[in-house]
Amino acid sequence: MTGTQTLAVRHFIGGEWSSEGSAAQRENPSDTRDIVTEFHLADRATVDRAVQAAAAAQGAWSASTPQQRFDVLDRIGSEILARREELGHLLAREEGKVAPEAIGEVARAGQIFKFFAGEALRIPGETLASVRPGVQVDITREPVGVVGLITPWNFPFAIPAWKIAPALAYGNSVVFKPGDPVPACGAALAEIISRAGLPAGAFNCVIGRGDVAGQALVDHPLVDAVSFTGSQATGAKVLHGTAARGARVQLEMGGKNALVVLADADLDVAVDCALQGAFYSTGQRCTASSRLIVASAVHDAFVERLLARLAALRIGAALDAGTDIGPVVDQRQFDSNLGHLAHAREEGVTTLQGGERCEAATPGWYMRPALLAAQPHHRIAQVEVFGPVACVLRVDDYEQALALTNDSPYGLCAGICTTSLAHATHFRRHARVGMTMVNLPTAGVDFHVPFGGRKGSSYGPREQGRYAVEFYTAVKTGYMRAL
Ligand code: NAD
């Protein structure tokens, strides 16, 4: 299914595949002549059908045993892992992530399903002694009900996996809406899930635009909870819509993540962290190191080494062996990246290298990664670009670096490169973010521990690991007096 033919992608509703809505296409960002998929955009009526199907299946799936849930999730995980190369190829073709990264992401999705297969066997509860004689109190967790899962395009297997797997593990039924540019990845995942042994309607997938199909999920009175990952602007709409009707909501949004390089850092490690964290996956990661905050004493040496490494990066088609950085996902994101860079130039920001369109063997959305020398007040040093663009900010010392790290409306991840235990320890405690990294890139996380941020980056309980139970279950406190 992942050669070069155009794939027909459909909705999966109530156990049936269907094509309804206006027709659309998705091109390969590495070669815009290649049409990856033809599909149909769900309208509100299609979303309503999916939600109704999920609501109808809720009783059956919530009554399933931990063993049944384990078997379903384990089967999905095994198939994803077995097909990682083929699905990674599809991901690279549709989203533009280079093949090794794409295959790695697919494997991670498989591992996430395996992890939550195990969690289905470990649904926690508690029994406490009552303060009253003869009374027993227990605290149990039940499925929330129908959950709407709205995901972005930049991790089209891993992010859906880390929402779908816990949703199903804890007995919820699901309506999943993939990111707009990645319908084929969403449908490939849906196809695997469709054969895993779920009751019809327990899992549904609708392909559609955010402002129509996504908003319909947010507004639907039968959707008990919405888990969203995407931009801050969309997150605000999702929060508004769900709050208005009292539905449960979880938001994972953007970042403007700082990587601090102190004077005592191992510069090879620091340059490696910056290169990987800022530019790999074409910088299209919410955890990308887009602010490189560097101590004056090593600033020039760090910049010189980073520029040399940047110049050596091979920009090209995602599926070409040897490509380091694939294309930008689509024209909209490409134009947005170049728009941010043009504005930065108008503000007087110096481009140290890159930022221009470049050619490859095939026509695509290729740009040279950009390194800029900015000041903290420049807009490009404050807003999320979501492309291969990083700013270097010079600071005098650790205190200034920490203050600048925290001077952001975002708070997803922050990293520090240092050989000082004291500074590393202080930074881990005082960076106002959800995740910290010491001598590691800000991007690149484990699948079995919580993921999320603070401030404008996240809202609601954490995703992933055993912390996912908080969002996907409702707590019930039961009192009983034995007569
Ligand atoms: P986006 O906000 O444009 O879209 C995200 C999803 O929301 C898509 O499925 C889209 O169709 C849907 N959507 C759009 N409008 C909607 C509406 N009115 N109601 C409901 N749903 C709607 O984001 P994107 O361009 O797909 O992804 C890039 C963004 O995602 C970046 O800001 C990035 O930082 C963020 N992101 C965050 C994390 C994280 O975990 N913190 C991870 C990956 C990406």
Q: What is the mean pLDDT of the chain?
A: 97
139 is a domain residue: yes
Q: Are residues 55 and 93 in the same domain?
A: yes
445 is a domain residue: no
Residues 6+ apart with CB under 8 A from 121: 66, 67, 70
Q: Is the CB of 390 under 6 A from ligand 1?
A: no
Pocket test for ligand 1, best of 47, 95, 150, 217 (most atoms within 8 A of CB): 150
Q: What is the mean pLDDT of residues 401-418?
A: 98
308 is a domain residue: yes
Task: Render pLDDT for 326-358 as a digit per residue (tens, 0 to 9).
Answer: 999 999 999 999 999 999 999 999 999 999 999
Q: Are residues 171 and 39 in the same domain?
A: yes
Q: Is the CB of 288 under 6 A from ligand 1?
A: no
Residue 237 C-alpha to ligand 1 middle, in angstroms?
11
Strand partners, 228: 150, 251
pLDDT of 78 higher than 50: yes
Q: Give the residue numbers spanning the domain of 189.
A: 7-253+457-481
From CA 55, how far away is CA 204, in angstroms rounded?
11
Alpha helix segments (H runs only) across 195-256? 215-219, 232-244
State the residue for tokens 């959707």: 223
Q: Are residues 219 and 347 in the same domain?
A: no
Instruction: Say if residues 129 and 179 touch (Cβ distance below 8 Å).
Output: no
Q: Is the CB of 210 under 6 A from ligand 1?
A: yes
The token pair that represents 20 in the structure block = 């309804």
Q: Are residues 269 and 410 in the same domain?
A: yes
Q: How far apart are the first and last CA of the chain?
A: 63
188 is a domain residue: yes
Q: Are residues 33 and 145 in the same domain?
A: yes
1 is a domain residue: no
Determine the angle formed by the axes of helices 158-169 and 183-194, rounding to 10 degrees. Answer: 30
Q: What is the mean pLDDT of residues 197-208?
A: 98
The token pair that represents 22 in the structure block = 């206006």
Q: Are residues 341 and 263 in the same domain?
A: yes
Residue type, 93: R
85 is a domain residue: yes
Identify the band that residue 2 occupies on the pLDDT scale cut at 50, 70 and 90.
very low
Choose, from 185, 205, 273, 286, the residue flagged as catalytic.
Answer: 286
From CA 479, how far away is CA 268, in angstroms rounded?
60
From CA 337, how far away is CA 315, in angstroms rounded?
16
CATH number, domain with residue 426: 3.40.309.10
417 is a catalytic site residue: no
pLDDT at residue 41, as a whole number: 98
Q: Are residues 323 and 190 in the same domain?
A: no
451 is a domain residue: no
Q: Is the CB of 154 under 6 A from ligand 1?
A: yes
Identify the band that residue 3 occupies on the pLDDT scale cut at 50, 70 and 90.
low
Q: Are residues 407 and 293 in the same domain?
A: yes
pLDDT at residue 1, as a whole number: 41
Of 69, 73, 52, 42, the residue nearest 193 (C-alpha): 73
Q: Is 134 exposed, middle or buried (0-12, 13-18, 19+ CB in 10 A)?
A: exposed
Task: Render pLDDT for 93-123 as a digit per residue (tens, 0 to 9).
Answer: 999 999 999 999 999 999 999 999 999 999 9
Residue 208 C-alpha to ligand 1 middle, in angstroms?
13
Choose, from 252, 384, 391, 463, the residue flagged as catalytic.
Answer: 252
Domain count along the chain: 2
Q: Are residues 432 and 461 in the same domain?
A: no
Q: Are residues 246 and 309 in the same domain?
A: no
Residue 235 C-alpha to ligand 1 middle, in angstroms?
7
Q: Are residues 185 and 325 in the same domain?
A: no
Q: What are phi and psi of 211, to 5 degrees?
A: -70, -15
Identify the band that residue 289 occupies on the pLDDT scale cut at 50, 70 and 90.
very high
pLDDT of 440 higher than 90: yes
Q: Are residues 347 and 463 in the same domain?
A: no
Q: Is the CB of 384 under 6 A from ligand 1?
A: yes
pLDDT of 163 higher than 60: yes
285 is a domain residue: yes
CATH number, domain with residue 73: 3.40.605.10
